[in-house]
Structure 1
Amino acid sequence: MAKKLTSLKKDAPAGMLNKPVAALAIVPLNKSLTVTARKAYNVMLHIAQRQGAQGADGSTGFSAPLNAILRGFGAGSNVAVDAKRYIEQMMSTKIEWRPLSRGEQWSLLPADAAAASFAEGGAADTRDELRMFNMLSEVRLYKKNGENWVTWFYPPTIQQQMLGPNRWARLELETIAQLGTYTAVALYEICARYRDNPGGVTARQHWSWWVAVLKGSELARQREWRKFKNEFVSPAIRDINEISDLEIELLEYKEGRAVAEVQFAVRRKQAPEVAAARAEQQPADVTQVARALALGLRESDVDAFMERYGEATVARALDAMQRYAGAGASKPIVNKAAYLKTILAGLENEAHPTVAQPGTPAPAPAAAAPGPMAAAPRPAAAVREAGLQNPATAAQQAQSRALAQARAVFEALPEAEQAAWMERLRAHVVAAGTATPTLMRRLDARQWQSPLVMASMVRFYMEQNGLG
């Protein structure tokens, strides 16, 4: 195996990873894997391959400074604690390593024959089988000369293939670092395997195979292909074609009117307009994730938003959320994921404006985060800004945006403050003579999410703030 590792190190430039084909199509079985964890795992494999063989039984680990694997932690963060989240993912996630095709399954020798076969340069006897492992068997985090270091170990039965693969895909780590979603990273890794394939296509698989592999979760396999393609695959293809040296195209095969099988056409660009690989591997960037966690969001929500809206848009939304939180706002954000989603919807509406139908709520404007009600646009101002737009339509659109923003702000209020507003609304409708039995029952039960109550509540809230 030492001979094979030496060959790998000579053949691969410093910024390239020779990843075994058996590890390209992985499916987490017991939990989802984040894009940051997958990127970090690639960096760790690259470091391990360049450090060389550490014993066929995996008894000796591989070591590196933590900032060579993960970067972007905030100055005030506990790096070891934050990094532990990704390390724990690798150790606790059970992975099914799915073959791209029948001829590219694990090729492992019995332990007593492995060393002798590789030492003699002989060919391994292949054996087709499905194997499941944890990604790492042990990890140690510690301080060394004042710097955070990590030592890791691979399960012995897969270390042979991870460090000395019989077949591998050559991956550019700089490209992986720039891809912002799990689907894009997974699809790039698989397609890179076929970069120089004479047929120019990946293996043809049922669409459910692709959903599980490209989403990073076995739980995603029942997702309808049409929706998964539109939300995840198409944006990933655009990113790969823009950033990498590959040009890929989705090919679908139908049975009747429904898509049954899927594969991808892959070709190398004639004159790739991509940056050359850097001298060293690129650590996985956790900058935006760290910011989101500091604001109280969950990483799974952040990953989902990045899949849907893109990393740059999420970064802008976090900027807005951070400004509101840092302004000493008297109204804390209760549902932080819903709050961020409202900002993202506003940014998307700003980038791709559509003409709303009269009476249809539209996303909040992207000029500011849902926050103090003074930031909500007035219908009159929106009409003036509409220019040649029909004044009535412009006013309806502006009112819809204001209502949507008011609702987002109300949803972010603490429960006690929401209850106080409901008491005020109750007194108001009784005094105005507009109370109905159904509305009173909803108010007494504190069911502000009810469409009946919410419609009245939002308008009342706007009026009380002088924004109606």
Structure 2
Amino acid sequence: MVEDESPRSSPRPPPSVEEQSVAKANEAIAIRPKRGRLTLLSRRIYNALLYHSQRQGVDEPVYRLALSELIGDARFNSNNTELLKSHLRDMQATTIEWSTSSSSLKRWVSSQLLGTVTIEEQGRGRPCMVTWRYPEEIKERLVKPHQYTRVLLEMSSQMRSYSAAVLYEIGARYLTSPGRLSMREDVMWWAAVLTGRSDIKEVDYRFLKRDVISKAIAEIDALCEEFGLELIEHKRGRKIEEIQFRVVPKVQQRLEDINAANRNVFDLELVGRLIALGIKQDEAQDLYATTDEGQIRATLDHVDARLRSATMPALKSPAAYFKDALKKGYAGVGIAVPASPPDEPGAAPATSVPTLSEGDRLRRIRELWENDQMAKARAMYAEMLEPMQAEWRTRFQVEQLEKVASPIARAWRRDGPASRIAGTTFFKWLAGTTWPAEPTDRVLLDFALQRGVPGL
């Protein structure tokens, strides 16, 4: 292609699903809405819009895409256009603050998250199109950011709660930073960022930690193969006032019983619980698609407890009560009533960072040891002649390919060991096959001493 040809005349070939990624401006990751509310699905839609905007280029005044393609890339499992419009309105109604500074200039911008959006239904046989704009003040920073984090749409779509989706992007941002420590902010700030809500006035940290943070960390630990997160609490006296997260890299592991085909489907049991309350099936599915799964589950548990209560009057309409509870956040941040007063005499103070047990220390060392083994396997493979390399690749395909998650299998078939996602799995397998003996505790401790592993 001639260098001065426009992208329109020769568009870039679309990447495979597992390669779709958005260069997300660091300032746009931890969004604290000042007005309005963001949901898990609206975040997915926003990432998909941003992905296509970046492919079309910063110079485009208006971005345009087939609605079916947007729905697919946002992993929006519904053809309900009205539902999609509702989320687009939410993003238009959400205002964010954007601050930048340099040695000579400090700049503060308050802006909509998304500008004008148009959906054009062109008649039978012609695709429905969506067009959108960004506010001019932040468009270039969003579409062509100078400092950004690469976010995989496929990985982001696996998250089933808004808080996990946010923490995944924060973890991806700080994974390569020297200290691997996230921003340190007060509890109220984190409550807004991790729930996407602008109406939070008061936060009970214990419920924020239990219902939002801990569940999000567990979700990331189960689904993210690159890193995990540790919560760090900063106290003033007995009160936890600020928190941050430490990003902990981990060996990319094969998910034994989870694959990309079934990680992102409806939880039919949860939808069934909604229907059992008297909510129509279509409405239950729409609620599930548009609302944080953890919030639905917590509200259902709240309604179940209310129905079982022998001291309160019977509910005339459990479905109506559920919708009201969901809307008003009865089971949400700062709403629940603690079982005991926060400063009850004799209560044990919370520790800011738990002390690692002997088992946890050995687990950490083992992860480092496995990384070292994998690096040795990679170096050994690089020194092999091509016939021997081909023999190992064939053996891996025969023995392992059907067992790995489908995105890894697709990446392997396309790029082999050169793939970042499949290469890690291959070299881990190669290390385990070449040196199958399980390390003893003594071997792991000797390894830690030889490598000078800090804090272990």
TM-score (norm 1): 0.53
Partner of 2:234: 253
Give the match for residue 267 of structure 1. Answer: 248
Q: 1:166 aligns with which of 146, 166, 174?
A: 146
Contact map agreement 1:72 1:285 (CA 8 A) in 2: no
C-alpha separation between the residues in 2 aligned to 1:201 and 1:272?
23
- Counterparts of 1:178-257 in structure 2, within 5 Å, are 178-244=158-224, 245-257=226-238
> CA-to-partner distance for each residue in 1:202-245, whole Å, 9 max, x for gaps?
12222222112111122225212221111111100100111112
Match of 2:28 in 1: 23
Cα contact 2:228–2:250 (8 A) shared by 1: yes
Alignment of 1:431-446 (within 5 A): none
Q: CA deviation at 1:32?
A: 1.5
Shifted more, 61-70 versus 198-207: the winner is: 61-70
What SS does the corresponding residue of 2:200 show, helix, strand or coil?
helix
Aligned counterpart in structure 1 of residue 293 of structure 2, from 306, 331, 340? 306
Q: Count matched residues.
A: 296
Classify 1:30/1:252 alpha carbon distance in 2 versus 1 (closer, same or farther; 3 Å): same
Q: Please identify, of 247-256 and 178-187, the stretch whose mean Cα deviation from structure 2 is larger.
A: 178-187
User: What is the deviation of 1:17?
Assistant: 1.8
- Which among 105, 109, 113 is matched to residue 135 of structure 1? 113
The letter of the residue matching 2:48 is V
1:19 aligned partner, one-letter code: K
User: How much identity, in percent, do the aligned residues show?
Assistant: 25
2 CA distance for matches of 1:95 and 1:413? 34
* Distance across 1 between alignment mates of 2:293 and 2:29: 22
Preserved CA contact (<8 Å) 2:303 2:318 = no
Q: In structure 1, what is the Cα distance between the partners aligned to 2:46 and 2:317?
A: 38
Give the 3 Å change call, closer, same or farther, for CA 252–46 of structure 1 in structure 2: same
Q: Whole-Å Cα distance in 2 between the matches of residues 141 and 304 of structure 1?
A: 23
One-letter identity of the residue aligned with 2:185 = Q
Judged with a 3 Å threshold, the aligned counterparts in structure 2 of structure 1 residues 21 and 72 are, in CA distance, closer, same or farther, namely: closer
Report if aligned partners of 1:21, 1:169 keep a CA contact under 8 Å in 2. yes
In structure 2, distance between residues paired with 1:13 and 1:150? 24
1:40 aligned counterpart, secondary structure: helix
Q: Once the 2 structures are TM-superposed, how far is the Cα of residue 23 of structure 1 from its aligned partner?
A: 0.6
Cα distance change of structure 1 residues 260 and 72 upon mapping to structure 2, 3 Å threshold: closer
What whole-Å deviation, never above 9, does each CA across 1:411-464 have from its counterpart, x for those lacking one?
4599xxxxxxxxxxxxxxxxxxxxxxxxxxxxxxxxxxxxxxxxxxxxxxxxxx
SS of the aligned residue for 1:228 comes to helix
Could you tell me how far apart the structure 2 residues matched to 1:302 and 1:407 are? 29
How much does 1:194 deviate?
0.3
Gaps of 5+ in 1: 98-104, 108-123, 315-339, 347-361, 365-399, 415-468
Distance 2:108 2:265 in 1: 29
- Code of the residue aligned with 1:219 in structure 2: it is D
Shift of 1:363: 7.5
Closer/same/farther in 2, CA of residues 297 and 285 from structure 1, 3 Å limit = closer
Q: Which residue of 2 aligns with 1:38?
A: 43
Extract unaligned runs of 5+ from structure 2.
321-456
TM, length-normalised to structure 2: 0.55
Asked if the contact 1:206–1:260 (Cα under 8 Å) also holds between the matched residues in 2, the reply is yes
Residues 11-410 of structure 1 mapped to structure 2, 5 A cutoff: 14-55=19-60, 59-69=61-71, 70=74, 72=76, 79-97=80-98, 105-106=99-100, 127-144=105-122, 145-244=125-224, 245-273=226-254, 295-296=282-283, 306-308=293-295, 341=300, 407=314, 410=316
Q: Deviations over 1:175-223 (max 9, x none)?
A: 2111111111112112211011110111222222211211112222521
The whole-number CA distance in structure 1 between the counterparts of 2:313 and 2:39 is 33
